[in-house]
Amino acid sequence: MITMTFVLKNRSKTITNASMEECVIAFVKEYEEAEHEIESIRLDQSDDPNEYFIISGKQSAKKWYDSIKKGVIK
């Protein structure tokens, strides 16, 4: 399971699913109007809370988000 935390302008949304692509699909389904607010994305992929990956910066986060959404990054 993968947990993705989408940090938005004044809030964050956390989604857990089987893959990054499924997390993005769930985010789009529930919060598509907030896509332009994404400031960073945190990915947690294991049970160890010390193991995570953060894409920070509005442009970088948006590029990663779009790539995952298009299926380029899985």
Question: What percentage of the chain has pLDDT greater than the value 70?
Answer: 99
Calculated CA dihedral for residues 36, 64, 5, 38, nearest 10 degrees = -20
Using CA atoms, how far apart are residues 37 and 55, in angstroms rounded to an integer?
14
Confidence of residue 69 (pLDDT cuts 50, 70, 90): confident
* Band of residue 49 on the pLDDT scale cut at 50, 70, 90: confident
**In which domain, by residue range, is 49 found?**
2-70
CB 50 within 8 A of CB 42: no
Average pLDDT, the chain: 92
Whole-structure pTM value: 0.88
Residue range 14-40, pLDDT digits in tens:
999 999 999 999 999 999 899 999 999
pLDDT beyond 70 at 45: yes
| Structural domain count, the chain | 1
